[in-house]
Structure formats: C-alpha cells, structure tokens
Structure 1
Amino acid sequence: MSSPARSAFPAPPRTERRVLRVLGTEITLLEKVRRKAEADLGFDIRFEVLDFISCQRRAAMEPAAYDIYDQCFHNLDIVWAWGSLRPIDTERISDWGLLSGLTREGGISRYAWRGHGDAPVRKLYVQPGEQLGDAPSRYISMLPTVHNMDSFGYDARVFGRPENGRDSWAWLLDERAKGRIALVDEPAIGIFDAALAAEAAGELQFGDIGSMTVAEVDSLMAFLNDRRQKGYFCAVWSSAEEAAELIRSDRLSAQSMWSPVYGQLGEMASSVVEAAPIEGYRAWHGGMSLSRHLSDDGLEMGYEYMNWWLSGWAGAVMARQGYYMSVLDRVREVLTPEEWAYWYEGAPAASDLPGPAGNTVVRAGVRRSGGSYWERANRIAVWNTTMDEHNYAARAWARFAAKVRSGMP
C-alpha cells in the first residue's frame, strides 16, 4: 500500500496571540482597564494582582515571571537594587513632555514644598552606574502614572464637621474614637499615618518624618503599643474592601483611608468625612517599570502598553475612583466637563457622578475635600516611603499589626 500523498503546500504554523504580563496591585489592575487595553492594543494582557509586599517580593526575585511591574515609587528601590528592571527610554514615551511638574520636577510648582520621603523625582532618573536620582536624564526607572494625596476618614457624628482644612491628623488617634480606630497594614504607609497623628497630637517629634532613626521608630512603636494596650484600635486592614466593610458595619470612628473607599460606604457615606489635615497630606505615586528580561517584540508591547496608559482613557477610570494621572491634559479630554470640574478643579458636583463601575459615588452639590488638584498637591507633608531603616520598621510594624489583628493586650 502506498503512503498518503503529502500536500505541496503545508499548513502555516499556528500563531498564538501575543501576551503581555502585568504584575501589580488592586489600585490600577482593574478588569475594565485590562479589557479596554486588549481591545485597543491587539494583544492579550494578563494581570497578576497581589498585595504591596508580595508584589514587591515577586518583582525582585522573579523578573522572568512578568513583563510590566505596576507599583508605587516607594516599592521601587528593592526591585531596582536586585537588578530586576531595565531603564525606560523617555524618547519612546510619546507624552513624556506633558507629564506634570509634580512628577518630573518634584513639586506642582517651583515654589511648592516637596514633602518628606520618597517623592517620585528623587528616584525617577537613571544616573551613571544605574543609580537613581533627581538629575534629569534620558532614561527613567519607572514611568509615573497614578497618584493621590491621602489622609484619613472620620465620623462626623463624633468629630462634627469642621471647616475644610481645619481637620488634624491628631484625630486619627483621638480619645473620642477610642476602640473604633483602624490603620492600613502596610509599613511604608500605615506607619506614616501613625507618625503624622502622633506628631500632630504633640506626643512625638521627628527630625525627618520621611527618614526616621531607629530610636524614632522605637518611640513611635512604643506609643502605638501603649495605645493598643489601652484599647484604641479595633482593626488593621490591607484592602479597600476591608476598609469599606469596617465602616459599613459601623465599627469605626476614624481610620486610614484610600480614595475609592469613599464610594463604597453605602448608608454610612453621609456620616464619614474625608479629612483635609491642616498638617498636610500623605502622598503616593504609582508607575510602571519594564522587566529586565524584555527584548524585541515583548519590549515593544511594554512601550505600547505604557503609552496607552498615558493616553487618557485609563486616567479617566482612575479619576472616577479619586486618583490623579501624571498627564492631566489627556484625562481632561476623556472626562465629562462635570467630572473634570469635580475631581480636578475642586468645584461642587454639578450632577451625580459615577465611579469606575458606573454606580454613583458622588452626589450633586458635594465638593471634593481639600479642593482642587493644585491645592491638594501644594499641601504634601510626606510621601509613602521605604526608609533607610525600613527593614527594622517593617518588622516592628508587623509585630504591632499582628497583635491588633489577634486582639492581644
């Protein structure tokens, strides 16, 4: 029996759709954003969503497991030091020249106070020897994207409704909220909320709150543990949903807060106020970095994705949960005039405004706490920071948080 005839025209090899893998946190890795980016860019995008610390550890130790590292500047140092990331060429970022002064120069204007700690500009530019610093260069460590100025939320039934800007970080540890206080469980974030509160209350004083000494960390943790033993804290939390549920269940009078939480409070929304502390905000800045392993087509996809993020649509989604983007003009082109006026200009909402999921998160007539983007950005006290003594502080914080979670005396 003769063998079957072979075709003179063999079938073309099966081609698989290209894939970009993005490692990050719940702040930016929204399913709605992933689907839109896939549709616009023409390749598959896979999100891996982890908490801050797990994300940082995976990025540092497993650079082959992702293509884009989407995190915050205060989570950059360790990953960069491990050699897991490659410099970003700003000549391949189409809107690089449109990035705000807060991002590229350190302040919203030349006169603005830069704030203590990890302002993004302090580790933005790649220096000779691949060190990071603020001297402008063609190459950067992380493309600045989403950012905000955070504070805390408080119960107006306990503290009243003082005039905007008269709130104080001291209220986060106020005796009036005893037994109903929660902090965010992240040592590069929660520890600064607590430090700002302790300093505002006159309990402690720091030489540089963005770079505490071991003795200052010890003093702060002793203070927090004293308050814990006296029953001040009811919880620590690690996600926006945890924070929202603590308020919806009416367990809190004051707690660290992230902006999206205010749109998830249900019936409690009318009782909770976003503080505009007289001492200033704790700010943070997110961004995207390229994995060291990327080359050729993978590298090209990485640049396409980062440029897409700056093009406006993603920034509008971020605005609807209270976050700002580094390229303001592109976001303004996508938001409605009413949304731009409320989220960026600080004007009263002309109508009910939607969140990323389409549900109403802002009621007509309400004004954003702290005012406009420019007003808020001019009042940064400290940035989320990985201090020189971070490892020491993180271990001390972990012991404190574990005891709060377990209810230990």
Structure 2
Amino acid sequence: MTDRTDLHPDTLAVRAGTHRTEFGEHSDALFLTSSFVVDSAEDAALKFGGQIPGYTYSRFTNPTVTAFEDRLAALEGAERAVATASGMSAILGLCMAHLKAGDHILASAGLFGSTIQFFNNYMTKFGVEVSYAKPTDPADWSAGVRPNTRLFFLETPSNPLTDVADVAAIAEIAHANGALLAVDNCFCSPILQQPLALGADIVIHSATKYLDGQGRVLGGAVVGKSEFVEPVYLFLRTSGPTLSAFNAWVLLKGMETLPLRMRAHCDNALKLAAWLEAHPAVERVYYPGLASHPQHALAMRQQTGGGGVVSFELKGGKDAAWRLVDAVQLMSRTANLGDVRTTITHPASTTHGRLTPEARAAAGIRDGLIRIAVGLEHIDDLTADLALGLG
C-alpha cells in the first residue's frame, strides 16, 4: 500500500503508512512501549546493527512513529521521512546532520522567529556562518552564495508576511553551488505544495500545525531522499529529540482529514482576506490567494491554494493592533497556527518578539501587523468578531 504512487492525496492521507498487526485492527495501532523484546542474542545484534528490520527501542524505532513517517513521505512524494519531537527539533536535526564548523547557511530573510533565533544564536556559536537573502529575489540568493555555503533554507509562504519564493529557481541556484535546499512547508502542508517536486532536497515540517490540525500535540519531520534523511535519523537516534508514539498516533488521526481541512482553510482565508482588504481600518493585507499579492501568480503555479494564514497591517500601529487582539471574543489569542480554531496574534510582540527592533524591521514585521490563522468557523462569525475591534 505505502509503495503505490497512483493514489490521490485524499486517499494517501487516510491509508498510507497503515501497518496492521496480527490482530487485524482497522484503526492505526498505538504502541506505548519503551522497548521491544527480541527472540535471541543474534536477533538483538542484527536488529541493533541494522542488518535486519525490526524494533528495539522507542527512542528511534516504534511502529506507530513509522506509520506517521510513511504516511507523510507518501504525501510529500518522498523516499523517506524521519519524525522529530517538534518542528524546531527537525531544523536542529537537519543542521547537525548536514553542517559542520566553517559551513555557511543562506536563509530566507522571512522566517519564523525561533528559526532565526536558532540560526543566529546557536549555529553561529558552533562556527556555522549565517546570512540572509530576500525570499522573493533569486538574484539575491545568487549574490549571497559563499564558497562554504552548504545549505539554503527558506519558508514559502513565509511567516507571517506570506512572501512566496520561487522554489525551482532557488533550487537551481543551490545545486549549481553544491548546496542543499531545505523548504519549511508548514504553511501549505503537502496538500497545497510539494517542494520536492519543485526541486527542493529536503522538506521540514512542524507537524504541530496543520498535520495535527487541532492543537493537541507537538511534532516535526524531515522529509526527502534517503541519502539526505538517513544522516538526520542517525543524529536523532543518538541525541533523542524524537517523536513519541502517542503524539505520532494523534498526528496520524489528524492527517486523515488533512485534505478536507486544507481546502476549507483556504476557502475561509480567501473570504476573510477579501473582507479585510475592503475594510477602511486596514492598510494592507498579505495573502497569496489575493490578486493583489505581489507573488500571486507564482503562488498559484506552485501551490494548489492560498493557505490558511492571513496577515494584515492596521492603520494606527501597535495601539490599533493590540486593541483588535483584545477586542475579539471568538478567535483564540495564541501564537499557534494550523488549528480548526481561528487564532490571532501580534507577531512583533510574540512570534518575532525576541528579535531586535532592527531585525524585525529588516524582516518587515511592523508594529501594526496582525497574523490570523483562519480556522473552520463560519466566515460570517469571523468577520463579525474582527469588526468588534476594527470599528
């Protein structure tokens, strides 16, 4: 089943990665065990050495986690996926497996705040150089390459301004310079975008977001060709920031409805973005599904929908932004995204609050910016909720 390539993503989201035991369970089994019993000393040696398949210890081998990895790999059209404890631990694993002191990361200037903090404060601490390129300008990526560049890293659409990068063009630049391209696919999920098919080498996921879809558990993954994923697996096996069996089981349940949810998120987000664009209190709306978005045409070529995240700037700066956040009664005031429940946050003081004012300015994170991860409530209720704080 997991090897079939002729199935629609809607089917893969439900069926891929299914590994039934001798009991013939219909739903995915949950293996809550720290270790696995072997048949003999020789069996133990062969399994621990990787000469034969099998499970030994749940830090790095667990059937429920394997099912999650296989399902995600099938949805991304990848050879392999390895699961991690969170999206940030997926980025940690990627960097520790593929970089060493003296190497250089060329990253998108539009990244999640914690990713920027990790690159700037920790990778540099261990001798890895980091610089940034404008996500929407391939020429800036070409100009940013150094002789020691080993990794290109980008989000598309970016968090929170929804800049859309040309994955194929940036992949070509990376490969011409002997570097890998990793794409954070959190905003789109594999239902809306498949970066590997566009030329990327590795896909990063915060499974906490849309893959779960209900704000229940943390999780992450690194996805791609086996030659790129295996070093990450070996690092995670030794260091331990891996996915728990319970969280993998919850994520498997969430992924069953992923295609349906993503289409509904996109539909709601487009309607909300259009409503905001027409509102006199709003200065600018950032949403790839709008014709006014500067990369709208590119987004519609490499994505199958605009996604569920809408950001917008209010006239009146921070005061207006905080007033809106405080006024809503339906939306959840939280920085998480990808949930069936709509969430609202002020990026300059939450997700990007640890950045210096200069770094926020460079990333385009202004004080009047609001990010909404549009959920599955009725659109009329969402617009009515925002109207409470927009006047």
Calculate the TM-score normalised by the size of structure 2. 0.31
Q: Which of 1 and 2 has greater Rg?
A: 1
Normalised TM-score (structure 1): 0.30
Structure whose residues are more often strand by fraction: 1
Higher RCO (CA < 8 A, seq sep 6+): 1
